A and B are shown apart, each in its own frame.
Chain A
Amino acid sequence: MRQITVTVNGEAHAREVEPRLLLIHFLRDELGLTGSHWGCDTSNCGACVVWLDEVPVKSCTVLAVMADGHRVRTVEGLAVGGRLDPVQVGFSECHGLQCGFCTPGMMMTARWLLDRSPDPSPAEIREALSGQVCRCTGYENIVRSVRWAAEHGAGGHEPGEHSGAATGSVPA
């Protein structure tokens, strides 16, 4: 067992874990953050995408111990102070989800894209999300949702700005 401390959505969590524990299971089973979905288990589908520090990762292919001392941001950390992120509003406005299973991963990658590229073309959005699968095949509306967010002030956030905003505590 190994003692780790991971800052998830701005809050530090200390746990003793087996080194073989995957980050997705740490989030869901240890911390009860079930917003991130455990899908294909083979890093193909992208339902489990969360941020590790400033970049999206497929958390079924990262060990929890690799996040020791780092920051993780999950879909639960998208809304700030009870206010939905424009990406979330976009998915709601444009019917960007059907069954909703892929949605957390789609939104985390979309948020990352918009931080780097505030006004992405549909082609750019498709490229950014190309490693994520919607089994309902609702891709058109997913692209529209991300465009909606871009058109409604989703761009221009400083990367990492959100990570600690919910609680105000951001350990270095």
Chain B
Amino acid sequence: MQVPAQVEYEQAASVEHALDLLARSGPEARILAGGHSLIPMMKLRLAQPETLIDINGLSELAFLEVTGDELRIGALTRHAGLLAAAGAGEHFPILHDAERVIADPVVREWGTIGGSLCQADPSEDLSAVFAALRATMVIRHPAGIRTVPAREFFTGPYETVVAPGEILTEIRVAIRPGGGSSYQKVGRRVGDWPVGAAGAALWLDGDVISGTGIGLTAVGARHFVAAEAEEFLRGRPATEENFGRAGQIAAENCQPVSDQRGPAEYKRHLASELTTRALRAALRRAAPRRAGGQRRPGDG
């Protein structure tokens, strides 16, 4: 029987109230959202917070909207909510690719986007997804807000720049024309962590790659990013050959470790192959829009 250690519990009535509770409770307080990472860690005593501050009642953090040229996702948005949001999937198919394979349908009803990102598990999918999309994280603190690029948000396994006394409140993704994106994951079964996964976003100027983001999951990529592969692609034509080379570069620059999900060599192979596949799919999805046409069947 797994039982968390004793803990104090507070329900926040607003973001301000949550910040106030955090300030009063000290550095051993933790925000409780869906709890599907935190509570299992508490049961295993890997996490032993003194105080939980429950933000599940904060509807002000549960939103998802396209405003002008930006997608804004409230941190308390549930995985199922993001998966059900047609607009988010239309602009960024990578989000729905990933959400379809995160945990299972029941867990997705409660797990939150902000919770997943703040957990910063090296095998967590959305970290790589938002790194690929070059998203911006919005963090509230008692004196106001600060914004941090997704790529600077993660400082190590299970570590982010969110300081004691702060709350991640929102994720913003800029909507730019001429883009496509995809997430490709290999896992052993539903609900398991990935053996490896790669996400890619492409922005094209004609046939030339004007911008790209490549995120890697569970293969030991720094900040979840394949920076060298991105650097290689920028300014080059979007060809199969270049995508293959980008995959190789991504694999050469990550540091997977062998575990029960597979040997490092296999994970390195996945980093290469899945990067190439994600780029290929991202191009397919970008292409019809560049031509102003409809997406082809089977591109989803």
Contacts and interface: CB of A to CB of B under 8 A. Distances in A.
Interface string A146-160: 000000000000000
Given A20-B6, A61-B36, A130-B190, 20 more contacts: A2-B9, A19-B6, A19-B9, A20-B3, A20-B4, A41-B43, A43-B40, A46-B104, A46-B106, A55-B110, A56-B106, A57-B106, A57-B109, A58-B107, A61-B39, A62-B110, A63-B52, A66-B56, A109-B105, A109-B106
Interface of B: 1-9, 11, 32, 35-36, 39-40, 42-43, 52, 54, 56, 80, 103-107, 109-110, 190-191
B190 to A, nearest CB: 4
A57 B106 CA distance: 6
Contacts, number: 76
A66 B107 contact: no
Given A63-B35, A131-B190, A42 B105 contact: no
A131 B105 contact: yes
Contact of A63 (B39, B104, B105): B39
Nearest to A109: B106
B232 to A, nearest CB: 37
Interface residues of A, number: 28
A120 to B, nearest CB: 12
A7 interface: no
A19 B39 contact: no
Contacts of A130: 104-105, 190-191
Interface in A1-53: 2, 18-20, 22, 41-44, 46, 49, 52
A131 B39 CA distance: 18
Nearest to B38: A61
A20 B3 CA distance: 7
Contacts of A128: 105
Contacts of B32: 63, 66
A66 B105 contact: no
Contacts of B2: 41-42
A88 interface: no
A43 B80 CA distance: 17
Interface in A93-133: 109, 127-128, 130-132
A65 interface: yes
A42 B191 CA distance: 11
A18 B109 contact: no
Given A61-B35, A62-B35, A63-B39, A131 B107 contact: yes
Contacts of A56: 106, 109
